[in-house]
Amino acid sequence: MAELAPRRTLVPIPVTDVEDPSYFHKVVDCQWACPAHTDVPQYIRLIGQGRYGDAYLLNRKSNVFPGILGRTCDRPCEPACRRGRVDGDAVAICRLKRVASDLREDVGSGLPRAAEAKNGKRVACVGAGPASLTVANDLMPLGYEVTIFERQQLPGGLMRTNIPAFRLPAQVLDEEIAVILDMGVDIRYGTEIRSMRELLQMGYDAVFVGSGAPRGKELELPGRHDEVGETHIHIGIDWLESIAFGHVNKVGRRVLIIGVGNTAMDCCRSSRRLGGEDIRVMARRPRQYFKASPWELEDAEEEGVQIVVNHAPRRFLVEDGRLVGMEFDQVEWDEGAVHSKTVGTVRIDCDDVILAIGQENAFPWIERDLPLEFSSPQLAAVDEVTMQSTIPGVFFGGDAAFGAKNIIWAVEHGHQAAISIDNHCQGVSAAQRPAQTMRLTSRKMGITQWSYHNDYNPHGRQEMARVDLKRRFERLNLEVELGFGPEETAREVQRCLNCDIQTAFQAPLCIECDACIDVCPVRCLTIIRPDWADEEELRTRLNAPAENRSQAIFVSEALPQTGRVMVKDENLCVHCGLCAERCPTAAWDMARFELGIPYAGRPAEVG
């Protein structure tokens, strides 16, 4: 029994609380990273089973716009995806979302419906972007009367005015927005809100500001406001809006895009479709510091756009009343690209310049003498959880809340604001948040049979087919990406590692036979005496050192025979189920984790 005598004083070990919904949720890397916590592995599984409509509805529950997001989402889930840590390439989560949307059968019965009786409460939303639309989506079924004021003649916000139709066809946008508006939302097009004070006096029970971050940043350099400057130098987001509404339909042959974020990518690709031939995206910094998503850069380069690094704009060159080019400093950066030094200047000729260097918030219509506090000149003070401003009953969301983000964040803000609005209207504090819940259900069917596909498919990430370059520019709104076909879909769904199928451990059953330890293909299990000083030390003492600190370590209660504990590094577990197959006592089980997410007026429910 010498083995059992403690070598060091035992410290009370922190046993992992797996009943806290956030523990297993965090193991589902994609779901955890998704601002709206979409149940990704389950929708991928449904797609694998050909249940496209169900996959669509599961998506819709949390992200409201699967068809739109399946084409345009910023995909915070993909860099988080476990598969990336296993073979270098994340599962194509976003494109599979599009599959669910493209192939969905009639899902009418699963869509939200307005309540039969109104509850007498009226909510005003400013702007018809994804944030306000989500608020309406969540509140209409509860009986609220929702009014949306929209300056433009069409709904959708930047999704309509800035995301080019070759990435997001209008029909997809129309369909998904119609589901919400058709519940009877009172939408007032062409109505710009010019005064918050007046809006507050209109007697609404709550106000939601979803007006976005509408102002494109300026580049104040010599020549900007000359006469030519006004006609041949464009602010990216305004220019894209003019294209969307048909006010602009051509551009010069040589175009310079200043800035290298996602807006720049849409500007350069739009230029390509409006007659631009020599198109350069001018970046100050080296490539690894670009804000644009890698896939957007690839798309632009495929279309012949040049990306030029280490060029800082100096001035616009105007000759004989004509914009002829721009002058740039050529710069060199130190390690980490913190400091630069100028090593020369260069002139680049062009016909048009598009400024795509960022967006700002602007609230000229909010009077500053209201009790609505601002945290900066551009931004109102907004609570990150409740989305409430310093006026109770006035909420912000989407780009209007904390500056420009993306669609999926706008949706999540909308969900949270809807909860707050519902609370507010029912006399409950916005701070009182409904809890998340969870459910674990075994996937065991037989000794070595599971009701999930546990085999590892070594296929690489599937490429998406696109319209041939020869045909791609025929029409401005020709969608470039063609969606996954049946074969890509079948392979891609099997790349998912089923992170929602959790390894659930019951310490009292374990006989410490080591079978699980031996079989685990990634050596992520260790049975160890609980005598480490802290988690840092524990991480170094496992069968395979646990170096990814962003991933949790599971620690069981004491095992019955020796008092040692089972430790699992969640980082590389591929959810293969082999530990549970080799365990003689079923101390390990593979169980599906479902997160119950609360929405306005609907407490968290699973299934």
Partner 1 sequence: MTSIAKPQIPLLPLERNQLGLTIRDYSGSMSTLCAGCGHDSVTAAIQEALWGLSIAPYQVAKLSGIGCSSKTPQYFDSAAVGFNSVHGRMAAVASGAAAANRDLVVVGVSGDGDSLSIGLGNLAHAIRRNVRMLYVIANNGVYGLTKGQFSASADIGSRSRKGEPNLLPPVDPMLLGLSLGATFLARGFSGDKAQLVPILKAGLSHGGFALVDVISPCVQFNDHEGSTKSFRYVREHELQDIDADIIPVRGQIHSEQTPGSVTEVELHDGSRVLFRAVPEGYDPRDRVRVGSYLVESARRGEIATGLLYLDETTPDMHQVSATTQDRLWDLPFDRLCPGSAELAKFQARLR
Ligand X SMILES: Cc1cc2nc3c(=O)[nH]c(=O)nc-3n(C[C@H](O)[C@H](O)[C@H](O)COP(=O)(O)OP(=O)(O)OC[C@H]3O[C@@H](n4cnc5c(N)ncnc54)[C@H](O)[C@@H]3O)c2cc1C
- Point out which residues bind ligand SF4 (CB under 6 A): 503, 510-516, 519-522, 524-525, 573-579, 582-585, 587-588
Which of 125, 128, 499, 595 touches ligand X (CB under 6 A)? 128
Nearer to partner 1, 120 or 584 (CB): 584
Least spacing, CB of residue 525 vs ligand SF4, in Å: 5
399 within 8 A of 379, measured Cβ to Cβ: no
Residue with tokens 């989500």, as numbered in its chain: 134
In angstroms, what CA-CA distances link 225 with 258, 315, 323? 16, 11, 11
For residues 302 and 584, what is the distance between their CA atoms, to the nearest angstrom? 55
In angstroms, what CA-CA distances link 535 with 11, 503, 506, 541, 566? 12, 21, 21, 10, 14
User: What is the chain's alpha carbon radius of gyration, rounded to the nearest angstrom?
Assistant: 27
Buried b (16+ CB within 10 A) or exposed e, 2-24: eeeeeeeeeeebeebebeebebb
- Map residues 34-73 to x or -, x wherever contact with ligand X holds by CB under 6 A: --------------------------------------xx
- When CB distances to ligand X are compared, the closest residue is 398
Number of helices (H) and strands (E) in the chain: give both, helices first. 23, 24
**Residue 524 touches which of ligand X, ligand SF4, partner 1, none (Cβ within 5-8 Å per kind):** ligand SF4
Q: Which of residues 463-522 bind partner 1 (CB under 8 A)?
A: 511-515, 517-519, 521-522
Stretch that binds ligand X, among 109-117, 261-269, 306-314, 324-332 (CB under 6 A): 261-269
Can residue 558 be called a binding residue for partner 1 (CB under 8 A)? no
- Nearest CA to 479 out of 94, 174, 169 is that of 169
Can residue 214 be called a binding residue for ligand X (CB under 6 A)? yes
**Residue 149 touches which of ligand X, ligand SF4, partner 1, none (Cβ within 5-8 Å per kind):** ligand X
566 within 8 A of 583, measured Cβ to Cβ: no
538: tokens are 């524990």
Stretch that binds ligand X, among 88-96, 156-164, 246-254, 571-579 (CB under 6 A): 156-164
Nearer to partner 1, 251 or 515 (CB): 515
Nearer to ligand SF4, 120 or 560 (CB): 560
Least spacing, CB of residue 513 vs partner 1, in Å: 4
For residues 607 and 594, what is the distance between their CA atoms, to the nearest angstrom? 7
Least spacing, CB of residue 40 vs partner 1, in Å: 20
Question: How many Å separate Cα 359 from the centre of its chain?
Answer: 18
Q: Which of residues 45-64 bind partner 1 (CB under 8 A)?
A: none
Reported as half-sphere exposure (CB side, CA atoms, 13 A), residue 262 has a value of: 16
Q: Which of residues 394-413 bind ligand X (CB under 6 A)?
A: 398-400, 404-408, 410
Q: Which of residues 419-448 bind partner 1 (CB under 8 A)?
A: 447-448
DSSP H or E run through 133: helix 130-139
For residues 415 and 598, what is the distance between their CA atoms, to the nearest angstrom? 9
Which of 171, 231, 429, 561 touches partner 1 (CB under 8 A)? 561
Stretch that binds partner 1, among 63-71, 99-107, 338-346, 583-591 (CB under 8 A): 583-591
Q: Which of residues 82-121 bind ligand X (CB under 6 A)?
A: none
Stretch that binds ligand X, among 123-131, 386-394, 430-438, 589-597 (CB under 6 A): 123-131
Q: Which of residues 182-221 bind partner 1 (CB under 8 A)?
A: none
For residues 9 and 530, what is the distance between their CA atoms, to the nearest angstrom? 9
Return the beta strands (E) in 485-587 as ranges: 501-505, 525-528, 553-558, 565-569
For residues 429 and 531, what is the distance between their CA atoms, to the nearest angstrom? 45
User: What value, to the nearest 5°, has the Cα angle with vertex 597 and ends 121 and 500?
Assistant: 160
Nearer to ligand X, 190 or 344 (CB): 190
Least spacing, CB of residue 443 vs ligand SF4, in Å: 11
Residue with tokens 């400057």, as numbered in its chain: 229
Least spacing, CB of residue 43 vs ligand X, in Å: 18
Can residue 456 be called a binding residue for ligand X (CB under 6 A)? no
526: tokens are 């260790």
**Residue 152 touches which of ligand SF4, partner 1, ligand X, none (Cβ within 5-8 Å per kind):** ligand X
- Nearest CA to 281 out of 293, 295, 273, 269 is that of 269
- Nearest CA to 216 out of 350, 354, 407, 411 is that of 354
- Map residues 353-382 to x or -, x wherever contact with partner 1 holds by CB under 8 A: ------------------------------
450 within 8 A of 592, measured Cβ to Cβ: no
Nearer to ligand X, 292 or 510 (CB): 292
**Residue 551 touches which of ligand SF4, ligand X, partner 1, none (Cβ within 5-8 Å per kind):** none
Can residue 3 be called a binding residue for partner 1 (CB under 8 A)? yes
Q: Which of residues 158-197 bind ligand X (CB under 6 A)?
A: 158-159, 162-163, 192-193
For residues 290 and 293, what is the distance between their CA atoms, to the nearest angstrom? 8
| Residues lying near partner 1 in the complex (CB under 8 A) | 1-4, 85-88, 447-450, 454-456, 458, 511-515, 517-519, 521-522, 544, 547, 561-562, 572, 574, 576-578, 581-585
Chain residues that interact with ligand X, rule: CB under 6 A:
72-74, 126-132, 149-152, 157-159, 162-163, 192-193, 210-212, 214, 237, 240, 262-263, 266, 365, 398-400, 404-408, 410
